[in-house]
Amino acid sequence: MLPSKIRYASRRDYNSILKIALEVFSKRHVRYIRRMLPRTCILVCEVEGEVAGFLQYFSRRYNGLRISVVYYIAVAPKYRGMGIGSMLLETFEDDIWSDVDIIMASTWAENKSSMTFFEKHGYTIYPLRKLVSTLGYRETLSLVKTIEAFDDNVIMMKPTVRIAEDVSWLISKLE
């Protein structure tokens, strides 16, 4: 494992973050990442002074639930498979764990590596159609809006230990 450091990003990191985003995602996704820069928290992993990956997140309320959302996570291709994504995700989880009821992330069904990555970290995968059939269309749409998952068809969830009473209605419906 290379010597690395996880820290919160400052404005000075925005160019490096967007450079990785351009390497990894389509231009549309890069626009979303850029647009949300002022309204999100970003953790970066630095390897020998270079930003090797980032995790962009925000927290919101949904029907009384406190949700933290992994908006985007990306590791530059040359640094993949070295545990950097895991370090970013684990640092983020440690930081928000006691303040939220559930963590969510979203992706598209073709992105198997992303689903494997989140599953490995204890997230349960819900295809959008399953959410629609259990929660109903309106409720699912409201959830998708809350977590800004407009382009995705898979939502991944991990309840925290401080799970509130309020979360049980959602989890029980999905079980």
Q: Is 72 in the site for ligand COA (CB under 6 A)?
A: yes
Out of 113, 129, 145, 173, point to the residue binding ligand COA (CB under 6 A).
113
Out of 16, 59, 91, 111, point to the residue binding ligand COA (CB under 6 A).
111
Q: Is 107 in the site for ligand COA (CB under 6 A)?
A: yes
Residue nearest ligand COA (C-beta atom) = 85
Q: Is 140 in the site for ligand COA (CB under 6 A)?
A: no
For every residue of the chain, DSSP letters joined together read: ---EEEEE--GGGHHHHHHHHHHHS-HHHHHHHHHHGGGSEEEEEEETTEEEEEEEEEEEEETTEEEEEEEEEEE-GGGTTSSHHHHHHHHHHHHHGGG-SEEEEEE-TT-HHHHHHHHHTTPEEEEHHHHHHHH-HHHHHHHHHHHT-TT-SEEEEEE-TT--GGGHHHHHHH-
Out of 19, 31, 120, 129, point to the residue binding ligand COA (CB under 6 A).
120
Piece in contact with ligand COA (CB under 6 A), picked from 8-16, 61-69, 116-124, 126-134 = 116-124
- Nearer to ligand COA by Cβ, of 14 and 164: the residue is 14
Q: Is 85 in the site for ligand COA (CB under 6 A)?
A: yes
Angstrom CA distances, 59 to 65, 70, 172, stand at 10, 9, 22
Q: Is 26 in the site for ligand COA (CB under 6 A)?
A: no
Out of 116, 136, 151, 162, point to the residue binding ligand COA (CB under 6 A).
116
Angstrom CA distances, 167 to 33, 153, 159, stand at 28, 22, 8
- Nearer to ligand COA by Cβ, of 14 and 25: the residue is 25
**Where on the chain is the footprint of ligand COA (CB under 6 A)?**
24, 72-75, 80-86, 107, 111, 113-114, 116-117, 120
